Amino acid sequence: MGEREEISRRLCAGESYRAIASLLGRAASTINREVNRNGGRDVYRAIAAQGRALDRARRPKQCLLARKPALRQAVLTLFKKEWSPEQIVGHLRLHHGEDPQMRITHEPIYRSVCTIRWKVVPRELCKRLRTGRPIRKNKRHMVKGQWRSQITGARPIEERPEAAEDRSESGHLEGDLLIGSNNSQVVTLVDRKSRFLTVVKLASRRTTVVVPALAETYARMDPRLRGTLTWGRGMELAAHKRFTADTGVDVFFAAPRSPWQRGTNENTNKLLRQYLPKGTNLSTFSQDDLDAIATKLNNRPRKCLGFRTPASVALTG
């Protein structure tokens, strides 16, 4: 309170922020913020400033969503669409611009979800998070390497066209198997530029099953997405030469135990796990079910696309 009274007196005397800061042993920017947050030089008063400071320091504070009902309603509506906090924030910025009542970052949304006692986000909506849990989990950075047989004639990822590497054009896909329980699996194909996802039902992971299924999928695919295919070292694509002969699509292989070389596919598979959790018997899903899930993900805004959707980016090439 004493410093605020001194600031008030010195302002009335017409002294500069720098002079007041020097007298109090503070930074000039600190004095500037203190005065501006309390009305400016012409209306600054020590008692009023002290009262506001006490209000700001009072605990417990209401969280941001509790203080802004319109913002809370918008967030809950988008949660029901199974959007992530980052996607919600990006959407609000695009559609509400500089409206201070609709401004938020993803971290307060996560806190509102994880702090159940606040009762801001209904518990049933917490399950709409991709993790399906209201408690945050520490990240563990680990790569599980596994042995793979040698694939004859495998072209290394370094030979991939430059347009595939720099994402300058659509049509360069990354693929892999998503594994479920009871020896079930699906193929996931992701365009490197647009992040457009295709999910293919499989009866088996044998190459004699996977390659024909991929070839049939490519035959139905938009020609703009039929450029190259990058795969891991799984033997399910051992017959890659047959696939290339059937489709005209060149196949390139990542290095062994290097999933980060297919990061686009790996990250998309993590998003897909919201709908196909680990331990799920994937054989119970029809192709129509898988198409519906892919459509949901392809129509979600993505941060890496400037909060555009994969579907809209894929259409523009």
pLDDT for the residue 118 = 59
- 99 and 6 in a single domain? The answer is no
Check whether residue 205 and residue 275 sit in a common domain: yes
In a domain, 145, yes or no: no
Q: What is the CA radius of gyration of the chain?
A: 27
Residues 202 and 78 in one domain: no
Phi-psi category of residue 280: left, alpha or beta, with phi > 0 → left and psi -120 to 50 → alpha:
beta
Q: Supply the pLDDT for residue 59.
A: 63
Picking from 16, 33, 57, the residue at the C-terminal end of a domain is 57
pLDDT at residue 145 above 70?
no
Structure tokens at 203: 């009866």
Provide the mean pLDDT of the chain. 87
pLDDT (mean) for 82-111: 88
Residue 307 lies in a domain: yes
Q: What are φ and ψ of residue 168, in 5° steps? A: -80, -15
pLDDT surpassing 50 at residue 67: yes
Residues 212 and 280 in one domain: yes
Kindly report the CATH number assigned to the domain that includes residue 216.
Answer: 3.30.420.10
For residue 189, is it within any domain?
yes
- At 308, is the secondary structure helix, strand, or coil? strand
Query: Taking the alpha carbons of 259, 260, 261, 263 in that order, is the dihedral positive or negative?
Result: positive
Last residue of a domain, one of 76, 104, 126: 126
Q: How far is CA 186 from the centre of its chain?
A: 22
Regarding whether 96 and 25 lie in a shared domain, the answer is: no
Phi, psi of 179 (to 5 degrees): -100, 135
**Domain membership flag for residue 183:** yes
**260 and 162 inside one domain:** yes
Structurally, how many domains does the chain consist of?
3
Write down the pLDDT at residue 190: 96
Q: Establish if 149 belongs to a structural domain.
A: no
- Is 257 part of a structural domain of the chain? yes
Q: Which long-range contacts (CB under 8 A, 24 or more apart) does 163-167 make?
A: 163/227, 164/192, 164/227, 164/228, 164/230, 164/252, 167/192, 167/193
What pLDDT digit, counting tens, does each position of 253-284 carry? 998 878 888 889 999 999 999 999 999 999 99
Q: Which of 80, 109, 126 is the last residue of a domain?
A: 126
- Give the pLDDT confidence of 199-228 residue by residue, as tens digits: 999 999 999 999 999 999 999 998 888 899
Taking 80 as the threshold, does the pLDDT of residue 28 lie above it? Answer: yes
pLDDT band of 193, cuts 50, 70, 90? very high
* Assigned domain for 144 exists: no
pTM (2 d.p.)? 0.57
**What's the burial of 62, exposed, middle or buried (CB within 10 Å: 0-12/13-18/19+)?**
exposed
Domain check: are 185 and 303 in the same one? yes
Question: Cβ neighbours of residue 165 under 8 Å, at least 6 residues apart?
Answer: none
Q: What is the pLDDT of residue 117?
A: 56
Please indicate, yes or no, whether residues 280 and 204 belong to a single structural domain of this protein: yes
Q: Are residues 115 and 233 in the same domain?
A: no
From residue 262, how far is each of 35, 150, 265, 278 by CA, in Å? 53, 19, 6, 20
How many other C-beta atoms can be found within 10 angstroms of the C-beta atom of residue 317?
12
Is there a single domain that holds both residue 74 and residue 51? no
Each residue of 127-139: pLDDT tens digit?
666 665 555 555 4
Judgement on whether residues 113 and 228 belong to the same structural domain of the protein: no
Domain coverage including residue 90: 64-126
Reported residue count of the chain is 317
Is the previous residue joined to 69 through a cis bond, with omega within 30 degrees of 0?
A: no
Instruction: Determine contact, residues 230/173, Cβ cutoff 8 Å.
Output: yes
Please check whether residues 107 and 238 belong to one and the same domain.
no
